[in-house]
Structure 1
Amino acid sequence: MTAPAAQVGRATGTAPMVVDAAAPASNGEAFAEAADRLMTIVRQNVSPGEGEGPGLERLLCLLCLSCEFKVPVARLATALPEGTGPLDVHGLMAAMANLGFHATLVPAALARAPHSAPLLLEGGRAGPHVVRNCPETGRRTVVWPCGRMETLAPGAPPPKAARAWIFRYGQEHDPVGKMRRGHARQSWFRALLALHAAPAMTILGCTVALALSALVIPLFTIYAYTQIVSLGASAPLPGFIAGAVLVIVVEALLLAHRGRMIAFVANRLEYLVATASMERVLKIRAALSETLGLTDQVARLKSFDNVRGFLTSPSFSGMIEAPASVASLIAIMLLGGWIVIVPLGGIAAHLAVFALARRSAIPATRTSADHSTEMQRLAIDTFEKREEIRDAGIAHVWSARIADALVRQQSAMSRLRMVGAWGKALSAFVVTATAMLLLGAGAQAAWQGVLGSGAFLAITMLGLRALAPFHMLCLSIQRIEQVKSSVAQLNQLMEMEPEHDTERYYAPMEALCGAVTFVNTGHRTGDTRPVFMGLDLEVAPGTAVAITGGTGSGKTLILKMIQGMTDISIGTVRIDGIDLRQLPLDELRRRIGYVPQRPRLFAGSLRDNLLLANPLASDDKIAQVLAWTGLAEDLAVLDGGLDRERGTAEIAVFPQRFLFKFALAQALLVGSRLILLDALPNAVLDGEVGDVVRRIIGLSKEGCTIFYATQRSDFLPLADRIVSLQYGKAPLVTVANDHLAESA
């Protein structure tokens, strides 16, 4: 089966189709037409809900076109949230956030005034709508989801709405972005905490109210002794009981409300940290992400567990009772004068214990974390390499290695626990000693007639309450150091430079022509010998290039260089005459068809997996590619075909032949004029997959540039140029006939 290269190899329109406000925004009719065209494409990627009308796709397109924004339409399609049904307000907000916009809530009074940027108004009777300024007339226009447009009279306010949002693009508008954090000299986590100022003030208010309530119960105690016990009167008793119950109920309500607010902040922080850290792991430079160990990345993603556990623990609730300590000390000073020296001394002793224990806990925590990470790494390696370990007959050696690592981990954790244990013991001793001294000082003052019995008991209660937060501080030494280590890991991850810097200028990406140039290119890892060096190769569009050589000679490395997935330490690589380092690499990879050595599928439908290569691909295009690669026949006998949802276990049993044909279909679906094929197993190439590969290589005759890695001599004659690699040496570039003559 063959197909014209004009249909299979030609770009599908992903590259030139760009959301750009510069042209249409100056003309009202052109702007509306551009929004309609864009909306048609977007709605192809939104599943219509049963019995539901159109959603807010038009408003999303209007916002993108009205803002200073330029992005391929394929990226807009991938920014749409998962789920079925038309786009609602929450989905629109999520899509704008996925595109990199930052939403700011505009006060209702300001929303009625003109703005240079478009506004999204929602929550009112009129329903969601967008208000934008028309550059031609200078008047504001209201656009509704149905497409109706209404021009407002000068000075007329837009329809009333509960909330108005304005969207801005760029790091200067990101409250946790590097630019804003740099101006405020804040770490990433500190900037994230600053976003929760309102709930923090609520927590602080509850804590202050609890501090005041801490004074009421001792005052009730004094009242009980002076008015009830000493006088033997029962008349004040009902009022005393009612007042005490009221205070207890109020304190319980304050504690419950504060607990809910702390839980809300902890859960919100966990969600934000999890999404932001995962996003950063996916967006750091590909060359860096490949060098980072899997265990290190997993440890960073799980590091917030310590922070969340600490925030929701009783230790944190006890430590934030510092205002109650201050209030208690003031009350003791007013009631007993010099007796306040005793709890002050207890607090000073607690701080000394904390400083000493922390000094030992810091290295112990770091050592324990290192050994725990090493144990995680060994566990992951054991599962990933269990077959190799079994085949090599080194299971006993590997088990001994795990046992040694486990001993080191447990020893480090034991030392850390010992530090925490003696810190708790010293803190308990300080509490006991302070309580005894407080009782002695109070008893002496009572004998001297300075204190009454009620005041004596009240001072004892207040003294113990003043010590409680500092006692909790000493009990939480181990957890505090773990939290500090976790926050440092998070900040380190978020400070890693992303692959695509929104503040950097990149050369504009157009549809790829397929020209690739290597200028004295080489690759060196660390201080080792270069894998290869001195590669000079100029590939014109419509050329097939075979890359051959032994294992480890750099075949896959050259393909990764073209995609920007590895740092180019020596020389230069140019795509269509532009230095690779001047291009947005994430966008470049979207425009290259690539077949890896180990293709994989994600859980979900096979159609979803295909659309990862090109979200804008039509059903006709998909059917054409499936027929061209022979996948249509396989899918015809597969239960559910393209559209049935499949779990990880079901996908894992797909045969290797099917996976490679699927990967070839994905590469063709990109519609690129630059296709890269990594080395495929011989067992796969001997069958129909090999026939598909040969046909793809033949697309070079119709204008596509094909790079393919191979060690098979029967595939070398298909190439126009052959790059022969040897580890540590300069590559040899020949034409196919010369290479075969030398080999013969």
Structure 2
Amino acid sequence: MEAGKFGGVALTGDAPSAMLAILEELNWPYSIDRFARCMPHFPVQFELIEIRGCLAQLGFVSQTRLLSLDEVSVQILPALVQVGESLSVLRLASTGLIVAIDPKTGAERAFKRNSRCQIVSFSAQAVDDKVSASRQPWLATTLRRFTPEILVLLGLTAVINTMVLIVSYSVMSIYDKVIPAAAYDTLAAIMFGVALASGFELSFRMLKARLIGRVTGRLEYLLSTAIFSKLISLPIQMITNTPVGDQIGRLRQFETVRDLFAGPFVAVGLEVPFVILFTIGLFIIAGPLGFVPLVLMICYGIVGAFLVGPLRRQNQIAAQKRRAHYQTALETVSNLRLIRSLGCEESWLKQLSAKAAESAKAKRRAGMTQRLLTTLSGAGVPVAGTATVVIGAYEVMAAEMTVGMLIGAMIIIWRVLAPIQQLFLMLSRYAEMAQMMAQIDGMMRLPSSTQVDKGLVKRSFSGQISFDRASFRYQGAPQGTLQGLSFTIRPGMFVAVKGHSGSGKSSLLRLILDLYQPQVGSVQIDGVNVRQIPSENLRAAIGYVPQNPMIFHGTIAQNLRLSAPAASDDKLRCICGEVGLLPAIDSLPRGMDTLLDHARQETLPGGFRQALAIAQALLRESSILLLDEPTKTLDYDLEDALLACLQRRRGTTTIVMVSHRPSHIRLADRVLCLDRGQVTSFDPPTGTGQVAA
């Protein structure tokens, strides 16, 4: 970070140095693993918003203030100040003044002390705050973080509406006083005032739009980060039992909550209090003209009572059909090679076309109702405007109001009618938004697989693994996958697991990892139930190579550091050389910095993926190593390199390897045989009949 790079990616600007300076000011206990895990995986930029996000992951809260240097107090330090593209760290100088420091050089920066600018302060979140926040609705708690910005937006809206009143009163004065008196000087003065008010209104509108944009971006980041953070912490059964298409569709629906600030919701919400005030003002200034917006609201309410309910149901049906179509399309793209090899393109296309037709039909029905709602709302405003003119004309002819009062009332009435129309158009969305917000709060209240008793924290493990009458069955499965397993693997033991397909070999490894939990019995490491071990410690103690390893978008070095963020470049090369992968990496154009995007991954041999996963597991230097058929795609050279790695770790690392190859089984200290989820033997490979205690 100090060199302006992270994970091989160049980070420009003051932000990297500023973040390190803030962590130093906060006396954060140094942990390169935690620091690396809070950083974006593949950052395209690193600015103030990324600093706030990373520090939030480390348990610090940030708050934005609009202050000058003279107004900054020591209590809000440490803090950052942003002016243009530059970031400065605020510190207390020996003179007793708060000064802006260049985070790269440590030199004081010239700064106008009386000019206000954006200042972001950081502090540690108290435990009581975390507990109270966890008991409250997550979305409401998140929105309360923006209370200062919301108050500023309300203030800006009040100023903008005050400018409208000034313009309305000025027009009324021109018609009632200036024109009859032919007062040209007064007219010039009024026009100057109107121009000044219009200029202020324009500047405040621009400031309001900028603030809404900043709040929207911050809210989008917090929402997406929190949802994905919660998603990856949920018990694995809750995720794997739902189709991928449905999960993606639901996540895309969650994004609609951003419309609270990004769409017209925030505009209407800010204008509603002033609509009420303007309506009261109409009654005071123009008498019966105040009934016009009230009648319009009543008419909109009647129309909404008949149309909003059906529209909501049609939107729900359309969303269901769209998810079904998306799921089929995703399945088609994922299995395109298989579909072509089986020659079933025509039948698959018919299925996809039927889903697309159902989705389009449901969308058309919802669209027709929405267009009817839009048409009626569009007709209501001009009718209300015409009614205002007609009623006002009668009042003028009856000498109950002046022409100036009528013109001024018309300016105000148009200001009132526009938010009412928008409010009516969004009636169909309010129920959807409320339901979506309730779903988000419900999701955030779900128990996480990582929410365990932190009292039993073990930083290191000897590697003993024990199963005590453990039984496990996948949800919806007719019978148990594992049934009454009881055995103990001593520290440093090399155990080979074999059995027929479907006997539960992979499930056994997943229970050790605590990816799944047994319904009966327990799995223990060093005598401690794995469910009582914090996930961070458990994962650090276990290296795992799955049957079908995945490669993530990023460089080779970044993929390797997913398991060991603190690993140096030399360490990466050493491990890759040990597993026999280094020659293949060095043959690539950029070596360790080669980007493994989708196109590159398609050209990689299966052995490269498998060897990369083995290197990831070995980088952890953990006391337990789990391998699920690690050699099925390896060539002879890579397989020999793997077996040599395992031999070097024999006695110091507990190794559990699923394999059927006799050459692998002969290397093991014990062979665990599974049949239909039960242990049939746990003997040395020579078959002496000895059973481990």
TM-score interval, normalised by the smaller of the two chains: 0.7 to 0.9
Amino acid at match of 1:627: G
User: Residues 193-208 of structure 1: matches in 2 within 5 Å?
Assistant: 193-208=143-158
Counterpart in the other structure of 2:664: 715
**Relative to 1, partners in 2 of residues 1:396 and 1:508: Cα closer, same or farther, differing over 3 Å?**
same
Q: For structure 2, which runs of at least 5 residues remain unmatched after alignment?
A: 94-102, 107-117
**Relative to 1, partners in 2 of residues 1:256 and 1:632: Cα closer, same or farther, differing over 3 Å?**
closer
Amino acid at match of 2:607: R
Q: Within 2, Cα distance between the matches of 1:332 and 1:219? A: 12
Q: Which has the higher contact order (CA 8 A, sep 6+)?
A: 1
1:324-371 CA distance string (max 9 Å, x none) = 423432332223334433332222222333344332333223222222
Secondary structure of the equivalent of 2:591?
coil
CA contact (8 A) 2:482 2:504 kept: yes
CA contact (8 A) 1:339 1:442 kept: yes
Counterpart in the other structure of 1:415: 365
Secondary structure of the equivalent of 1:715?
helix
Amino acid at match of 1:331: G
Q: Within 1, Cα distance between the matches of 2:366 and 2:324? A: 17
Cα shift at 1:630: 2.0
Amino acid at match of 1:376: Y
**Relative to 1, partners in 2 of residues 1:710 and 1:83: Cα closer, same or farther, differing over 3 Å?**
closer
**Relative to 1, partners in 2 of residues 1:640 and 1:436: Cα closer, same or farther, differing over 3 Å?**
closer
1:653-706 CA distance string (max 9 Å, x none) = 222222222222222222123111112464x35622332343345356433221
User: Residues 579-728 of structure 1: matches in 2 within 5 Å?
Assistant: 579-618=529-568, 621-645=571-595, 647-680=597-630, 682=632, 684-685=633-634, 687-699=636-648, 701-727=650-676
Counterpart in the other structure of 1:26: none
CA contact (8 A) 1:547 1:710 kept: yes
Counterpart in the other structure of 1:337: 287
Secondary structure of the equivalent of 2:666?
helix
Amino acid at match of 1:733: S
Question: 104, 117, 128: which is aligned to 1:172?
Answer: 128
Secondary structure of the equivalent of 2:454?
coil
Matched, 1:505 2:461: no
Counterpart in the other structure of 1:224: 174
CA contact (8 A) 2:586 2:592 kept: no
Counterpart in the other structure of 2:109: none
Secondary structure of the equivalent of 2:557?
helix
Secondary structure of the equivalent of 1:534?
strand
**Relative to 1, partners in 2 of residues 1:427 and 1:567: Cα closer, same or farther, differing over 3 Å?**
same
Question: 695, 720, 730: which is aligned to 2:678?
Answer: 730
Counterpart in the other structure of 2:311: 361
Amino acid at match of 2:492: G
**Relative to 1, partners in 2 of residues 1:463 and 1:614: Cα closer, same or farther, differing over 3 Å?**
closer
Counterpart in the other structure of 1:302: 252
1:23-52 CA distance string (max 9 Å, x none) = xxxxxxxxxxxxxxxx99xx99999999x9
CA contact (8 A) 1:629 1:665 kept: yes
CA contact (8 A) 1:697 1:718 kept: no
Counterpart in the other structure of 1:382: 332
Q: Within 2, Cα distance between the matches of 1:271 and 1:693? A: 42
Cα shift at 1:439: 3.4
Question: 40, 59, 62: which is aligned to 1:100?
Answer: 59
Secondary structure of the equivalent of 1:598?
coil
Counterpart in the other structure of 1:550: 500
Cα shift at 1:534: 1.3
Cα shift at 1:566: 1.5
Cα shift at 1:578: 0.8
Matched, 1:256 2:209: no
Q: Within 1, Cα distance between the matches of 2:167 and 2:20? A: 62
**Relative to 1, partners in 2 of residues 1:533 and 1:191: Cα closer, same or farther, differing over 3 Å?**
same
Amino acid at match of 2:57: N
**Relative to 1, partners in 2 of residues 1:685 and 1:445: Cα closer, same or farther, differing over 3 Å?**
closer
Counterpart in the other structure of 1:574: 524
Q: More displaced, 672-681 or 603-612?
A: 603-612
Q: Within 1, Cα distance between the matches of 2:594 and 2:410? A: 70
Secondary structure of the equivalent of 1:718?
coil
Q: Within 2, Cα distance between the matches of 1:425 and 1:733? A: 75
**Relative to 1, partners in 2 of residues 1:477 and 1:110: Cα closer, same or farther, differing over 3 Å?**
closer
Q: For structure 1, which runs of at least 5 residues remain unmatched after alignment?
A: 1-38, 132-144, 149-161
Q: Within 1, Cα distance between the matches of 2:88 and 2:298? A: 62
Q: Within 1, Cα distance between the matches of 2:18 and 2:266? A: 44
Counterpart in the other structure of 1:11: none
**Relative to 1, partners in 2 of residues 1:389 and 1:553: Cα closer, same or farther, differing over 3 Å?**
farther
CA contact (8 A) 2:579 2:642 kept: no
Amino acid at match of 1:678: D
**Relative to 1, partners in 2 of residues 1:104 and 1:452: Cα closer, same or farther, differing over 3 Å?**
closer
Secondary structure of the equivalent of 1:671?
coil
Question: 242, 267, 271: which is aligned to 2:221?
Answer: 271
Counterpart in the other structure of 2:112: none
Counterpart in the other structure of 2:400: 450
Q: Within 2, Cα distance between the matches of 1:129 and 1:240? A: 49
Counterpart in the other structure of 1:9: none
1:388-426 CA distance string (max 9 Å, x none) = 222333322322222222222222222322332232233
Q: Within 2, Cα distance between the matches of 1:129 and 1:81? A: 27
Counterpart in the other structure of 2:302: 352
Q: More displaced, 308-317 or 702-711?
A: 308-317
CA contact (8 A) 2:22 2:79 kept: no
Question: 418, 424, 430: which is aligned to 1:474?
Answer: 424
Matched, 1:561 2:511: yes
Q: TM-score, normalised by structure 2?
A: 0.81
Matched, 1:75 2:34: yes
User: Residues 511-526 of structure 1: matches in 2 within 5 Å?
Assistant: 511-526=460-475
Let me know the Cα RMSD of the aligned residues: 4.3
Q: Within 2, Cα distance between the matches of 1:315 and 1:196? A: 16
CA contact (8 A) 2:178 2:184 kept: yes
Secondary structure of the equivalent of 2:485?
strand
Q: TM-score, normalised by structure 1?
A: 0.76
**Relative to 1, partners in 2 of residues 1:447 and 1:74: Cα closer, same or farther, differing over 3 Å?**
closer
Cα shift at 1:433: 4.2
Q: Within 1, Cα distance between the matches of 2:196 and 2:7? A: 59
**Relative to 1, partners in 2 of residues 1:472 and 1:288: Cα closer, same or farther, differing over 3 Å?**
same
Q: Within 2, Cα distance between the matches of 1:468 and 1:606? A: 55
1:420-469 CA distance string (max 9 Å, x none) = 22322333444344344433432332332222333333334433432221
**Relative to 1, partners in 2 of residues 1:335 and 1:514: Cα closer, same or farther, differing over 3 Å?**
closer
**Relative to 1, partners in 2 of residues 1:242 and 1:129: Cα closer, same or farther, differing over 3 Å?**
closer
Question: 493, 496, 502: which is aligned to 2:446?
Answer: 496
Secondary structure of the equivalent of 1:639?
coil
Q: Within 1, Cα distance between the matches of 2:92 and 2:660? A: 59
1:12-71 CA distance string (max 9 Å, x none) = xxxxxxxxxxxxxxxxxxxxxxxxxxx99xx99999999x9x96899788678x67x7x9
Cα shift at 1:561: 0.9
The aligned length equals: 656
Q: Within 2, Cα distance between the matches of 1:58 and 1:524? A: 48
Counterpart in the other structure of 1:139: none
Question: 111, 128, 141: which is aligned to 1:191?
Answer: 141
**Relative to 1, partners in 2 of residues 1:61 and 1:460: Cα closer, same or farther, differing over 3 Å?**
closer
CA contact (8 A) 1:56 1:89 kept: no
Q: Within 1, Cα distance between the matches of 2:326 and 2:48? A: 42
Q: Within 2, Cα distance between the matches of 1:310 and 1:725? A: 55
Matched, 1:325 2:284: no
Question: 147, 153, 159: which is aligned to 1:209?
Answer: 159
CA contact (8 A) 2:611 2:638 kept: yes
